[in-house]
Chains A and B, each alone.
Chain A
Amino acid sequence: MSNERVPSLRIRTPEGIGFSLLLAGPFVRFLAMLVDAACIACATSVLSTVLHFFAIISLDFAKALFIVGGFLLSVGYGISFEWFWRGQTLGKRLFRLRVMDGQCLHLQFGQVVIRNLVRTLDMFPVLYLLGGAVCFLSGRSQRLGDIAAGTIVVRTPAVAPPNLESLSNHKYNSLRQYRRQGLQLRRTVSGEEASIALRAVLRRDEMAPEARCVFFAELADYFRSRVPFPPEASEGLSDESFVRNVLDIVYASPDPARSKDRPR
C-alpha cells in the first residue's frame, strides 16, 4: 500500500524491478537549510576567533584570511559535505534527507558543484523564495539548482523489516481449529486490509487506550463480517486478540506442521 500523499519518484531498474524514492518537500528542505546556515555561522564565528591571534602579527593578513575563509565556508560547505557525505550536509543528515542523482546513479562532482552554484539564483530575492517556489511547483520537488544539476532530494526515513513475531507471541490461536474459515480468511482478506490491521497491531502502543479499543473493535467486526467464525471460536477473546489471531492466519503458513501456534 503506497502513501499517495507523499510525493515519490518511481524508478524502474533494467531488471524490471520498480522501487520508490520519497521526495523531500520545500518545507523540510528549508529547515535543513536553516541548520546548515547556523553551522556556517558557527564555523565563521570560530574562524573569526582563531584569526584574532593572527591579528597580533598582522591585522591586514587576519582580515584577508577572514574574508577568504568566510567565502570558502559559505560556498564550499555545501559542495564539500555533499561530495564527501554522499549527498548529505549536517542539516540534511539531521532531517534524514539526501541529494541523489535524478536517475538514482552516483552523484558526480560536477552535479554537486552546479547545484550549489545555482543556489545564488535560488536565493533570489530573499530566503530562497525563487528556489522554494520552483521546488513547490516542480513535479520532483526540485529547485533551480537541482534542475540544472539533474539532482533530487529524497527522504531517507529509518526503516527496518517488520517484526511479525509480535503478532502471536507464540500463544494459542483458537481460530486455527477452524480450517475451513481459516482458508476462507486467507482467500478473502486483501493485502491492503491485512496491512492496515498489521500496522494497527505493530503500533498499538502509539494509540490512546480508548482509541485503541474502538479501533480494534471496528477491525474485529470487519473481519467477523467477512468470515463468520462460530461464537465459541472467539469466546473470551478481546477484539485485539481476535485481530492478532486473524493476522496470524493470514500471514503465517497454512501448513499446520510449520505453524508455531498449533493447539497445545
Chain B
Amino acid sequence: MIADMDRFIAEETSCWKELEAVLDRMDRDVAFRMDSAGVRRFHYLYQRTSSDLARIGSFAADPELRSYLDSLVARGFSEVHEPRRLRGGFSPSAWFFRTFPSTFRRHIRAFALAAAVTLLGGVFGAVTLHMDRADKEILLPFEHLLGSPAERVAREERMVNENLARGKLTFSGYLMTHNTRVAISCLALGLTFGIGTLIFLFYNGVILGAVVFDYFAAGKVAFLFGWLLPHGVIEIPAILIAGQGGFVLAGALLGRSDGLPLGERFRLVWTDLATLMGGVALLLVWAGLVEALFSQYHEPVLPYSLKIGFGIAELAALTLFLALGGAAAQKTPGGRNV
C-alpha cells in the first residue's frame, strides 16, 4: 500500500527546506557556527528528515523524492556524526615546533629504515666507483659531476664571483620546488608497497656515495664538505623524512598483524603523513635558500672552515629540534599536541 504521498510531501517539505537552507549555509560559509538552540534545531531537522527517508523506504516511493532525501540525510550525516576532532584553531608555530618533531619521532623506525637504505646505496655507489672508475658516467647523471673533481674545484674557486653574480634567487626557487616535487614522489611511492620509495632512496644513496668517494679519492675533502654540508645537512634529512613518510604509507598498506581493515589503517596515518610532508617542504625551502645563496660560494670568498662549521651547526640544531621538539608537551600531564 502506498502512503498518502501528497499529504506527506506537503507536511514535510518545510522541514526539508529548512534543513537544506542550513546545510547550504554551512557549505557557503566555512566559519558558520550555530548557537546551542540552532544546533538543537538542526539535529531535530536531521532526525526528522532521516525518519522521513526511512518511511518512504518501505513504500518504494518516487525516486526523485528518495534522491532528494538521500542527499539531505547524507549532507546532514557528516555534520551530526563526527567522532573525530573538528577543525579548530591552527597554530603554525605549535605545529612546526611541536607536532612535526613529535610525529617524526613517532615513526622513527621508518626513518631509520630510510636512512639505512640510503646508506646502503651510498656504500654501493662508493664501492662500485672504487672498483671501476668507468662506471662514473652511469652512476652520476649530472654533467657537472662527471669531470675531474680537481678541475671542478679549480674552476669553481677561480670563477666563483662570475658564477654568483646573477640568478641566485631563480636558482634557489628552482631548488626548492624541484626538491619538494622529488620529496612528494618519494612519499607517494610508498603506495607501491614501499618498493618505489626503497628504490628511490637507494638510488639517491648511490649518487651521494659515488660523489663523496670521487671527491675523497681526489683529495678534495674540504671542498666537498664545504660545498655539501651547508645545504646537505638539511636537504638529505628532508628527503629521508619524505622516505619515512613513504614507508609509513607502505606500512599502512601492508597492514602487518594489527587486524584493522585497509581504510582504518590509512585513517590512522594520513594526518602524520601530511605533517611530515609539511615539515619536509619547510626544510627544503631553507635548504634551497642555503644552497643557492651560501653553498655556491667557495674559497677565497668564504673559507671552507666557516661553511663546514655552519653545516655542523645546522645539523646539530636539526638533530636537537627533531629529538626534543614537542617532547615537553608530551611529557606534561594533559599536554596535547596541536
Contacts and interface: CB of A to CB of B under 8 A. Distances in A.
A198 B173 contact: no
Nearest to B249: A148
B216 interface: no
Q: Is the interface of B mostly helix, strand, loop or mixed?
A: helix
Interface stretch (A39-47, A160-168, A211-219): A160-168
Contacts of B57: 18
B61 A195 contact: yes
B62 A252 contact: no
A148 B270 contact: yes
B6 A252 contact: yes
A169 interface: no
A125 B204 CA distance: 21
Nearest to B65: A162
Contacts of A202: 64
Interface in A211-250: 250
Nearest to A120: B188
B128 interface: no
B177 A195 contact: no
A15 B63 contact: no
Given A71-B180, A104-B74, A104-B78, A199 B64 contact: yes
Contacts of B201: none
B33 interface: no
A157 B81 contact: no
Interface in B219-278: 249, 262-263, 266-267, 270-275, 277-278
Q: With a 10 A CB-CB cut-off, give which of B82, B176, B191, B274 has the most chain A CB atoms.
A: B274
Interface residues of B, number: 74
A105 to B, nearest CB: 5
B63 A11 contact: no
B4 interface: yes
A199 B63 contact: yes
Contacts, number: 198
A63 interface: yes
A159 B71 contact: yes
B74 A253 contact: no
Nearest to B167: A60
B67 A159 contact: yes
Contacts of A19: 53, 69-70, 73-74, 77
Interface in B161-176: 166-170, 172-174, 176
Contacts of B62: 162, 194-195, 198-199
Given A105-B81, A114-B270, A64 B61 contact: no
Contacts of B30: 84, 86
Contact of B86 (A106, A110, A117, A150): A106
Interface of A: 1-3, 11, 13-21, 58, 60-61, 63-68, 70-71, 75, 84, 86, 100-106, 108-111, 113-114, 117-118, 120-121, 144, 147-150, 154, 156-157, 159-162, 164-165, 167, 186-187, 189-192, 194-195, 198-199, 202, 250-254, 258
Interface of B: 1-2, 4-7, 9, 13, 16, 26-27, 30, 47, 50-51, 53-54, 57, 59-71, 73-74, 77-79, 81-84, 86-87, 166-170, 172-174, 176-177, 180-181, 184-185, 187-189, 191-192, 249, 262-263, 266-267, 270-275, 277-278
15 contacts: A2-B66, A64-B172, A64-B173, A71-B177, A101-B78, A108-B84, A110-B272, A114-B273, A120-B181, A121-B185, A147-B262, A160-B68, A162-B64, A189-B2, A191-B60
